[in-house]
Chain A
């Protein structure tokens, strides 16, 4: 397969790797300070990549997300935890543009942005891997990868050959055994479909990646592969929101975690400052442990 990156019409991840050292420094400095003083406001050091402030959304009478605030720094993985229906997927869908918030602000690199639909989110470099994968099952991998941002020939028609060539390259990186480029994705295995969804999210120079249960449909080996990929992307300076039910995954991969309950943030903690039991207590009872910064959803404790 061709190694040249020059001709490729979209920027390749290689470009991102060049900027790696600088990004990692910005990531390290706030982390050190936060570790020393967990209750200090995180904003003191550097601008967060994303900051969602005071977000609310209601469906009918139900407040799915209730004044929630979260943030994410470059090169950081933030795990988002909570029961089914805690509001984590909804919160993240507001960031990816799938839902329109009723209240609150979103900042990207300190600038307030309008995210009214998925196109706005993508324009900000926010890419999402949905729990349902959100693939169009009746078209092939290349068509899914480029859905909504097709490569065109000079005449304005679809450049299917170029799209297939790029897809072959990116899939080769993620899943070297993948060969079924001509078949509709409905014919692929769960892992292969997941690879297509991941390829679509990382192929367009995402700065912020949202992964909603990325390993739910995968076997142990493929799960490990996704873990490796997250570490690699993190090293490249992306910010990643990771939603998962699997506490082990979250503890392995994330730097910080945010727990939600009934649409509210229970608390935020550095992964190294809390134990599994602490986190379970946050998820189940809304009890905020010592190492965490309590949010509006934390159980009111007697001081």
Chain B
């Protein structure tokens, strides 16, 4: 007695169109697809716009550029490996925090203090590195970066746990607790360093910012990692299928499984290819060649090139000389890793299940025997841990810690989460959605900087996009129902 296949269960399903059947079979989240479409649209607009900008708004010249392929994908400066690479590095800090904010908002909580918390944690770790451990252990001692990172993670988790305890056990609304935190933690950050900028960070610590060559994976390992992730995707599909077959559940059609596997692998390998197309800056290549006795090939100067050549005893820029590619950078890997781990926690652990159930109906969760207070503390502490990770990325990237480092980050994190489809009413939200939301927001900011638009415009547009995203999402939800 096997259960009849999904399509014969409901006669209405047989009448649906090819598009609907495609989405039902592949179980692709159409909301996420909409967001990816929006992201692609934003990218294309910025690339064309920046292309026109580049060619003084002469459409003919811009079109020549597109055809000859000398510029970005659509003739601009946005869809270039360099910009995509930078965009991902810039997104990683907000994306890491957004993955935690999703769980908090799903649980009907909120953390307004993440920006100030980031400043506080970064300054504390900066003070530890620069004023305490540097003089006592000697600058560059290998223990410094470990202790500094440990401090970030522990301090972040601790502050998060305090926020959570006040919310859950003292029953102060999270809005108030974390609004107080927003103000107070900023004050503590100022106090710790007397408002000064603490710099420079430990050399090994700096690697987490993605700005130095040690934080780049290089093409070979990037490809290996890409292939490993592809293998993981295929394994997940095969394993899921085997599990469902074990219990005689309806299976996805084979073509849908193959499509999902190919699509996932194509995205991973495509991204890897883009990362592997971004070359090191010229001076780094030159320094590396000098340090490692690599011969620089002779050539003619060409300002548009990515590589370096020797013209006599002069180092010049050329097209086909010595060139090294960056591959994935550490902060992006950290953010992707956090995304995978957080998605796993949300979907595959009882901890994650309880968070969603509590958001859906707090009373029901309590009556089911879930200790919702302790759960609240744990989720706030997890948020704090992620802020700790972000503070490492941010301060390492800036190679300095200041009490202004995380300013307005809480707003960007919440905006990214909401753009990513998380409902403030609780119970609904995905990790990948929030991370994509962070990418959408950073794309807008970065694109507008490329176009040389005044900084004030960026905030205006980001604010507008936030409201627009929620409005579109509501229209979508109503129509789906």
Is B365 interfacial (CB 8 A cutoff)? yes
Q: Are A138 and B368 in contact, with the CB atoms below 8 A?
A: no
Which one of A96, A136, A137, A161 contacts B243 once the chains associate, using CB atoms below 8 Å? A161
Which B91-112 residues have C-beta < 8 A from chain A? none
- How long is the Cα–Cα vector from A48 to B364 in the complex, in angstroms? 29
Which one of A98, A138, A162, A164 contacts B360 once the chains associate, using CB atoms below 8 Å? A138
Instruction: Give the residues in chain B near A164, CB-CB below 8 Å.
Output: 247, 249
Which B322-375 residues have C-beta < 8 A from chain A? 347-350, 353-354, 356-361, 363-371
Q: Contacts A152-B350, A158-B349 given; indicate if A134 touches B367 (C-beta within 8 A).
A: yes
How far apart are A285's CB and chain B's nearest CB, in angstroms?
A: 34
Interface string of A122-139 (1 = CB under 8 A from B): 100000101011111111
Q: Are A148 and B368 in contact, with the CB atoms below 8 A?
A: yes
- How long is the Cα–Cα vector from A238 to B38 in the complex, in angstroms? 57
Minimum CB distance partner of B344 in chain A: A157
- How long is the Cα–Cα vector from A139 to B361 in the complex, in angstroms? 10
Is B295 interfacial (CB 8 A cutoff)? no
- How long is the Cα–Cα vector from A132 to B3 in the complex, in angstroms? 32
Instruction: Please classify the interface of chain A as helix (H, G, I), strand (E, B), loop, or mixed, using the class held by over half of its residues.
Output: loop
Which B230-271 residues have C-beta < 8 A from chain A? 243-244, 246-249
Is B9 interfacial (CB 8 A cutoff)? yes
Q: Contacts A143-B353, A150-B350, A161-B244 given; indicate if A134 touches B369 (C-beta within 8 A).
A: no
Q: Are B3 and A135 in contact, with the CB atoms below 8 A?
A: no
Is B160 interfacial (CB 8 A cutoff)? no
- How long is the Cα–Cα vector from A134 to B358 in the complex, in angstroms? 11
Is A40 interfacial (CB 8 A cutoff)? no
Instruction: Give the residues in chain A near B350, CB-CB below 8 Å.
Output: 150, 152, 158
- How long is the Cα–Cα vector from A119 to B1 in the complex, in angstroms? 37
Minimum CB distance partner of A150 in chain B: B350
Is A165 interfacial (CB 8 A cutoff)? yes
Interface string of A143-163 (1 = CB under 8 A from B): 110011110100011100110
Which one of A96, A135, A162, A179 contacts B247 once the chains associate, using CB atoms below 8 Å? A162
Instruction: Give the residues in chain A near B404, CB-CB below 8 Å.
Output: none
Q: Are B247 and A147 in contact, with the CB atoms below 8 A?
A: no
Instruction: Give the residues in chain A near B363, CB-CB below 8 Å.
Output: 132, 134
Q: Contacts A139-B353, A147-B353 given; indicate if A117 touches B360 (C-beta within 8 A).
A: no
Q: Are A139 and B367 in contact, with the CB atoms below 8 A?
A: no
Is A2 interfacial (CB 8 A cutoff)? yes
Minimum CB distance partner of A187 in chain B: B481
- How long is the Cα–Cα vector from A156 to B249 in the complex, in angstroms? 22
How far apart are A8's CB and chain B's nearest CB, in angstroms?
A: 12
Instruction: Give the residues in chain B near A139, CB-CB below 8 Å.
Output: 353, 356-357, 360
Instruction: Give the residues in chain A near B244, CB-CB below 8 Å.
Output: 161
How far apart are B360's CB and chain A's nearest CB, in angstroms?
A: 4
How far apart are A203's CB and chain B's nearest CB, in angstroms?
A: 13
Q: Contacts A122-B369, A139-B356 given; indicate if A161 touches B361 (C-beta within 8 A).
A: no
Which A85-128 residues have C-beta < 8 A from chain B? 96, 98, 117-119, 122, 128
Is B427 interfacial (CB 8 A cutoff)? yes
Q: Are A138 and B367 in contact, with the CB atoms below 8 A?
A: no
How far apart are B406's CB and chain A's nearest CB, in angstroms?
A: 31
Interface string of B433-474 (1 = CB under 8 A from A): 000000000000000000000000000000000000000000
Instruction: Please classify the interface of chain B as helix (H, G, I), strand (E, B), loop, or mixed, using the class held by over half of its residues.
Output: helix
Is A36 interfacial (CB 8 A cutoff)? no
Is A168 interfacial (CB 8 A cutoff)? yes
Q: Are B360 and A136 in contact, with the CB atoms below 8 A?
A: yes
Which one of B1, B357, B369 contacts A143 once the chains associate, using CB atoms below 8 Å? B357
Is A1 interfacial (CB 8 A cutoff)? yes
Q: Are A161 and B247 in contact, with the CB atoms below 8 A?
A: yes
- How long is the Cα–Cα vector from A118 to B366 in the complex, in angstroms? 7
Which one of B9, B348, B349, B369 contacts A117 once the chains associate, using CB atoms below 8 Å? B369
Instruction: Give the residues in chain A near B360, CB-CB below 8 Å.
Output: 136-139, 184
Instruction: Give the residues in chain B near A135, CB-CB below 8 Å.
Output: 361, 364
Is B428 interfacial (CB 8 A cutoff)? yes
Which A149-197 residues have C-beta < 8 A from chain B? 149-150, 152, 156-158, 161-162, 164-165, 168, 179, 184
Q: Are B361 and A134 in contact, with the CB atoms below 8 A?
A: yes
Instruction: Give the residues in chain B near A96, CB-CB below 8 Å.
Output: 367
Minimum CB distance partner of A118 in chain B: B369
How far apart are B93's CB and chain A's nearest CB, in angstroms?
A: 29
How far apart are B240's CB and chain A's nearest CB, in angstroms?
A: 9
Minimum CB distance partner of A133 in chain B: B364
Instruction: Give the residues in chain A near B370, CB-CB below 8 Å.
Output: 147-148
Q: Contacts A138-B359, A157-B349, A161-B249 given; indicate if A1 touches B367 (C-beta within 8 A).
A: no
Q: Are B364 and A119 in contact, with the CB atoms below 8 A?
A: no
Q: Are A147 and B365 in contact, with the CB atoms below 8 A?
A: yes
Instruction: Give the residues in chain B near A134, CB-CB below 8 Å.
Output: 361, 363-364, 367-368
- How long is the Cα–Cα vector from A119 to B246 in the complex, in angstroms? 32
Q: Are A1 and B1 in contact, with the CB atoms below 8 A?
A: yes
Instruction: Give the residues in chain A near B365, CB-CB below 8 Å.
Output: 136, 147-148
How far apart are B133's CB and chain A's nearest CB, in angstroms?
A: 37
- How long is the Cα–Cα vector from A276 to B1 in the complex, in angstroms? 48
Q: Are A158 and B353 in contact, with the CB atoms below 8 A?
A: yes
Q: Are B247 and A136 in contact, with the CB atoms below 8 A?
A: no
How far apart are A201's CB and chain B's nearest CB, in angstroms?
A: 11
- How long is the Cα–Cα vector from A284 to B322 in the complex, in angstroms? 96
- How long is the Cα–Cα vector from A84 to B95 in the complex, in angstroms? 50
Instruction: Give the residues in chain A near B428, CB-CB below 8 Å.
Output: 138
- How long is the Cα–Cα vector from A148 to B367 in the complex, in angstroms? 9
How far apart are A179's CB and chain B's nearest CB, in angstroms?
A: 6
Instruction: Give the residues in chain A near B364, CB-CB below 8 Å.
Output: 132-136, 147
- How long is the Cα–Cα vector from A133 to B349 in the complex, in angstroms? 24
Minimum CB distance partner of A96 in chain B: B367
- How long is the Cα–Cα vector from A139 to B346 in the complex, in angstroms? 13
Task: Knowing that A148-B354, A165-B249 touch, tell me 11 more A-B residue pairs with CB under 8 angstroms.
Answer: A2-B248, A117-B371, A122-B369, A128-B367, A138-B356, A148-B368, A148-B369, A150-B350, A152-B350, A157-B349, A164-B249
Q: Which residues of B are at the interface with A, using a C-beta cutoff of 8 A? A: 1, 3, 9-10, 243-244, 246-249, 347-350, 353-354, 356-361, 363-371, 427-428
25 intermolecular pairs with C-beta atoms under 8 Å apart? A1-B248, A98-B366, A117-B369, A118-B366, A122-B369, A128-B367, A134-B364, A136-B356, A136-B361, A137-B427, A139-B356, A143-B357, A147-B353, A148-B368, A148-B370, A149-B369, A150-B350, A150-B353, A157-B348, A161-B246, A161-B249, A164-B247, A164-B249, A168-B3, A179-B10
* 8 closest Cβ pairs, A-B complex: A138-B360, A138-B427, A136-B357, A136-B360, A134-B364, A148-B368, A119-B369, A148-B369
